[in-house]
Amino acid sequence: MTNEGRAESYLVLGGTGFVGSHILKALAASSSTRIASYSRSLPPAKKVLGGVQYYTGGVQDEEKLVQIMLETEATVVFHTVSPPHNDDESAYYAVNVLGTQAVINACKRASAFASTSPASAEAGCVRALVYTSSSGVVWNGKDISGATEDEVEIPEMGLEAYSATKGIGEKAVLAANGDKLKTAALRPHAIIGPGDNQAIWRLVENYTSGQYHFQIGSGTNLFSTISVTDVARAHLLAAAALLRDSTSPAVGGQAFFITDGIPVPFYKYPRLVWRELGASDDFWVVKLPRWLCLGLAFFVERWRGLVGGHTILTEFVVKTVTMEQWYRCDKAERLLGYKPTVTLEQAVRETVQWWKEEGAQEHAAQSQSKKLR
């Protein structure tokens, strides 16, 4: 509820996804009474949360978005929809740019329509939009060591398509901030937790194939991580701050880094995963020089460009695992009241446990489904 005692109605776009599903759980746990999810598909029966209304549709479908916002009388919208990192560039643009603009338009249109209906009063007027961005929007391929939001900017040319399009989406959301619609963007880095279908299976593959014995670079570069539980909680804090924007330090139109507050050497996270999977504490490691891997990646990418196919050894990947990327979240602590609550070790244990109990089976089913398409 807001300070005025109004009951808010929450709509989570991408509610069956990684971050979105945890936001739904956090809302349900907070006794929020009006919660809705909008995603491409419905969740499996065992994952349906009581008290949550589920809708399906695409993020680019502006008319459908307006319809759902009006039907649920949404006052707060969380936009967590994001294509997988291994999608093609057209998917990145379609979701992160066109889809995000459709969400912004829908929020404004739904509010305008609701405000003309005396019966709805302020119910159904979307007053807060929180966008799940990424710290990657500011990365330009150089070391970032303890940067704040004021010290780094979104570059004109993004380092790769995913981050570039996320940056365009973030800019659009923040530019939409105004008196009637308050907006904010959260920039998590390296999200860890149950439901992760992107990083964890790659780390599992590294382990089962024996690749975990090979390290690119010195491994001393520091890296930020964050539990998906804290990411979800930060979204709720951002929404609450936007709703009280007129009575507290303004957060509307701003972006916030969110991390667990403790940068660690890059390989600490994957090695915690590998040990949870069964690797010994002192497994042998061969360190491959960064310059060598960059050279190999240069030639592999160009060879693949000629003959086709996909490679995971890219210049972008080599830079990602060998350069410093850690961020300060003082601003989120000061303006949102954010404090990390889950350690890296705890997040890894929860993730690997989920993988063993559910994730591996889900990933296998998804892979099989893609093969049949």
Residues that are catalytic: 162
**How many angstroms separate the CA atoms of 16 and 365, rounded?**
16
**How many angstroms separate the CA atoms of 232 and 26, rounded?**
7
Dihedral sign computed on CA atoms, order 287, 291, 297, 303: negative
User: Residue 39's closest CA among 16, 60, 21?
Assistant: 16
Both tokens of residue 357? 């109990």
Residue 193 to residues 2, 76, 363: CA-CA distances in angstroms?
A: 30, 24, 15
SS3 percent helix, strand, coil of the chain, rounded to 5, is: 45, 15, 35
Cβ atoms of 269 and 189 within 8 Å: the answer is: no
Strand, coil or helix: 117: coil
Helix (H) / strand (E) element for 191: namely strand 191-192
Cβ atoms of 79 and 126 within 8 Å: the answer is: no
Instruction: Give residue 222's Cα distance to chain centre.
Output: 20
Cα separation of the two ends of the chain: 45
